[in-house]
Chains A and B, each alone.
Chain A
Amino acid sequence: MLEIAIKGSKKYWIWLGVLFAVIGAGFLVYVDQFINGLMTTAMSRDVSWGFYIANFTYLVGVAAGGVMVVIPFYLHNYEKFHRITILGEFLAVAALIMCLLLIIVDLGQPLRCVNVLLYPTPHSMLFWDMLVLNGYLFLNIVIGWKVLEAERNQIKPPAWTTPLIYLSIPFAIGIHTVTAYLYCGLPGRGFWLTAILAPRFLASAFAAGPSVLILLCYVVRKFTKFDPGWDAMQTLSKIACYALIANVFFFLCEIFVTYYSKIPGHMTHIDYMFFGLHGHNTMVPWMWSSMILMITGAILLVIPALRSNATLLPFTCIMVIIGTWIDKSLGMIAGGFVPSPLHHITEYMPTLKEVAITVGIYGVGLLVLTILYKLATTVKEEVRG
């Protein structure tokens, strides 16, 4: 099936060329970081995680969001998702590959990463995160590939894929739950120390994942002869809508608990993010933008006439994606680390080098996504034609 990927139009090859250039540039910057250490980043003693882990957290959500097409189709026989299920699974594959790369570039000693396997440590959440992320990646590659292959040969997928598909559902929930547990099990980080963090992560994931998928449906419709179906896209937008509302609601619950109880260790982080602290207010415009984007997105999605407007929908999706991205990546890092456990304020904004390496990794993700989507859409065109 892979031979499909090396037969393409001129546009296809130009696009791949652009991606390779972006990846190459990111790689060169990474070589500098590899040689000189993480000094090339803006991370510090107080803000010890930054842009890499922020984007990692967001992309785990995008990967988990794929389950929002798997559940309706496989558990509820929702036929309209038949065509896009494979798109959801392949999106998860691309997102997970980016996640793993972001972890690698964040390590101070990347060559020692095998130590996590050599000294398995069940009391560390990072160990479990490694297991579920790789497990979910493996499941999606196998399921996506086998189901697509069966479709191409016009036979039923092998029976053993069914239990794997069912298994992939708890794994999807698992990757984001365990990723939230990385944060919310740490004493002394008031902003993260909340039981609502995992549910909130899932809610924002189920808003962001389907929004990305809707955008990709538009791209697929424009560049291939395969039509994912407007009805499917509309259902996706409803899922994104209610997940987004849940995310905002969970956040407001957090706000209530924090400001009604007035516990300083919890208030000070949210104060910093939304109002600034002792004159440090880098995050303020970001956080308010995030709130405005998410609330506007929710309004545009919940009103049927606006949701079903095919010209408006992609813009709404972009708003949701940016809003949830700020909320979960930059916000999660800044909120957790500022102020520090000793109540010092060290602010964080990534360096250009950090951004370049991250963009390179997004390039890898887009490359994987392009190739997998090309396989999927070509096979589906073949079968129909």
Chain B
Amino acid sequence: MKKSRRSFLKAAGVSALGIGVAPAIQAVASSGSTPAAHATKTKHPEALTAERWGMVIDTSKITDEIAENIVHACRKAHNVPDLNHVPDEERYPNTRPVNHDQELKWIWEEHFESAFPDKEDEFLAERFKELPFLVTCNHCKNAPCVQACPTQATFKREDGIVLMDFHRCIGCRFCMAACPFGARSFNFRDPRPFIDEINPDFPTRSKGVVEKCNLCSERLAKGLQPACAEVSEGAIVVGDLEDPNSEVRALLSEKYSIRRKQELGTEPSVYYIM
């Protein structure tokens, strides 16, 4: 008994020493000229890149069916929990009842007057009143959520995508108060029981963190189009807003488009062709 205690203490001491020494070893290693010792960042050869990513949604091409497919594809790609999903009683016994006001969504359908509350008009053309408008994170140029986050868990990438580090987020929800588009969701509970089929290519979240659309940065990195664009039958185009020859720029120069709450100056990167 005594011996094992001593050996435990010895091991603990050695490992503590190791923790203390590790930075020093790293410093020595980095001063040497052995590139193999470095962690190297490699880019997928087919990765899609842009100076500033943007999205163009052609509202005339979105039908209820396409909108539903898009929402579903996004949920599936990112393990976004659906509180309507009935948890597997065997794996998750005694799951407490859900509060549907605590739902999570990255892209979803809204009516015109909710997507564009500042453009509400009693004489609005009839067809707009019924159309499904897909809303999501706008990846704003001047993102209020990035400014509000006290830990930089929400940050803006050089290519304009507003991303989140789910492991750094403390769950203060300041970003949710800051976002003028209601684009953010909070994990009020463990989301896993409410995921129909877990996609192993994307992490699930833990309770207590915020999440939102990431413009499929993980797919762009592999040279794939965002999941929503892929199933949109041409209604959603994602591309480089700063490239005059890109498809998104061609669409914008051709047709009249609007953005949500432009007057706030957050500079949304999602455009709606009317």
Q: By the criterion CB–CB under 8 Å, are B261 and A119 in contact?
A: no
Check if A74 is an interface residue, CB within 8 A of chain B: no
Inter-chain CA distance A188–B138, complex, in Å, is: 14
B110/A39 in contact, CB under 8 A: no
Given A109-B169, A341-B179, A342-B115; A45-B144 close (CB under 8 Å) = no
Contacts of A46 in B (CB 8 A): 101, 182
Inter-chain contact A115/B188, CB cutoff 8 Å? no
Nearest first, the 3 closest Cβ-Cβ pairs linking A and B are: A108-B171, A188-B180, A108-B208
A254 to chain B, nearest CB (A): 19
Cβ of B264 < 8 Å from any Cβ of A?
A: yes
Nearest A residue to B170, CB-CB: A112
Is chain B's binding surface mostly helix, strand, loop or mixed? Answer: loop
Contact of B102 among A45, A113, A125, A182 (CB under 8 A): A45
Residue A49 interfacial (CB < 8 Å) = yes
Chain A nearest CB from B248 CB (Å) reads 25
The answer to whether the Cβ of A127 comes within 8 Å of any Cβ in the partner chain is: yes
B153 at the interface (CB under 8 A from A): yes
Q: Which residue of A lies closest to B168 (CB)?
A: A115
**In this complex, which of A38, A41, A49, A113 has the most chain B Cβ atoms within 10 angstroms of its Cβ?**
A38
Given contacts A41-B188, A113-B170, 20 further A-B contacts (CB under 8 A): A37-B208, A43-B102, A47-B101, A103-B172, A108-B169, A108-B187, A112-B168, A112-B169, A124-B147, A126-B172, A126-B174, A127-B150, A182-B174, A183-B177, A188-B181, A189-B180, A265-B118, A342-B117, A342-B135, A342-B181
Whole-angstrom distance between the Cβ of B154 and the nearest chain A Cβ: 10
Give the Cβ gap from A261 to chain B, nearest Cβ, in Å: 15
Docked-complex contact A39 and B99, CB < 8 angstroms: yes
A344 within 8 A of B: yes
Q: B178 — which chain A residues lie within 8 A by C-beta? A: 186-187
Q: List 17 A-B contacts (CB under 8 A).
A: A37-B187, A38-B207, A39-B99, A41-B188, A43-B102, A45-B104, A45-B186, A46-B101, A49-B177, A106-B173, A108-B173, A108-B186, A112-B168, A112-B171, A119-B152, A186-B148, A186-B177
Interface residue total, chain A, C-beta cutoff 8 A? 47
Given contacts A45-B182, A124-B148, contact A39 B188 (CB under 8 A): yes
Q: With an 8 A cutoff between CB atoms, is B190 at the interface?
A: yes
CB of B189 within 8 A of CB of A37, answer: yes
Given A49-B173, A109-B209, also A187-B144 (CB < 8 A): yes
Q: Does A195 contact B (CB under 8 A)?
A: no
Within 176-208 of A, Cβ neighbours of B (below 8 Å) are at 182-183, 186-189
- Report the nearest B residue to A123, measured CB to CB: B147
Kindly report which residue of chain A lies nearest to residue B111, judged by CB atoms. A342
> Which residues does A use to contact B, with CB under 8 Å?
36-39, 41-49, 103, 106-110, 112-113, 115-116, 118-119, 121, 123-127, 130, 182-183, 186-189, 265, 336-337, 340-344, 346
Are the C-beta atoms of A121 and B149 separated by less than 8 Å? yes
With both beta carbons as reference points, the residue of chain B lying nearest to A113 in the complex is identified as B170
Give a binary string over B175-217; 1 marks a CB under 8 Å from any A CB, 0 the rest.
0111111100111111000000000000000111110000000
Q: Are A121 and B264 in contact (CB under 8 A)?
A: no
Q: State whether the Cβ of B6 lies closer than 8 Å to any Cβ in chain A.
A: no
Q: Which residue of A lies closest to B210 (CB)?
A: A108
Contact between B151 and A48, CB atoms less than 8 A apart: no
Q: Does B266 contact A (CB under 8 A)?
A: yes
**Cα separation A106 to B181 with both chains bound (whole Å):** 23
Minimal beta-carbon separation of A148 from chain B (angstroms):
35
List B residues at the A interface (Cβ < 8 Å): 96, 99, 101-104, 110, 113-115, 117-118, 135, 144, 147-153, 168-174, 176-182, 185-190, 206-210, 261, 264-266
Contact between chains at B150 and A130 (CB < 8 Å): yes
- Contact indicator B144/A186 (Cβ below 8 Å): yes
Tell me the bound Cα distance from A112 to B187 in angstroms. 15
**Which of chain A's residues have a CB closer than 8 A to the CB of B99?**
39, 42, 44
Expressed in whole angstroms, the Cα–Cα distance for A150 and B147 within the complex equals 45
In the complex, are the beta carbons of A109 and B189 less than 8 A apart? no
A113, A186, A343: which contacts B117 (Cβ < 8 A)?
A343
CB-CB < 8 A to A336: which residues of B?
177
Contact between chains at B182 and A107 (CB < 8 Å):
no
Report the Cα distance A43→B187, complex, angstroms: 11
* Chain B residues whose C-beta falls within 8 Å of the C-beta of A188 in the assembled complex: 144, 179-181, 261, 264
Given contacts A43-B188, A44-B101, contact A115 B174 (CB under 8 A): no
A343 to chain B, nearest CB (A): 5
Contact A116 B170 (CB under 8 A): yes
Supposing A45-B185, A115-B153, A346-B101 touch, asked if A37 and B170 sit within 8 A by C-beta, the answer is no
CB of A131, distance to nearest CB on chain B (Å): 11
Known contacts A48-B186, A187-B266, A343-B117; decide if A38 and B208 are in contact (CB<8 Å). yes
**Residues of B contacting A340 with CB < 8 Å?**
182
Instruction: Give the contacting residue for A39; candidates B144, B168, B169, B189; CB below 8 A.
Output: B189
The contact of B170 among A36, A109, A337, by CB within 8 Å, is: A109
CA distance A119 to B110 in the complex (A): 36
Nearest A residue to B144 by beta-carbon distance? Answer: A187
How many Å lie between the Cα of A119 and that of B168 in the bound state?
10
Q: Tell me, rounded to whole Å, the shortest Cβ–Cβ distance linking A129 to chain B.
A: 9
B172 nearest in chain A by CB position: A107
Most buried by A among B99, B150, B174, B261: B150
| Cβ–Cβ contact B261 & A121, under 8 A | no
A187–B101 CA distance with the chains assembled, in angstroms: 23
Note all chain B residues with C-beta closer than 8 A to A36. 96, 189-190, 207
Residue in contact with B96 in the complex, picked from A39, A107, A344, CB distance below 8 Å: A39
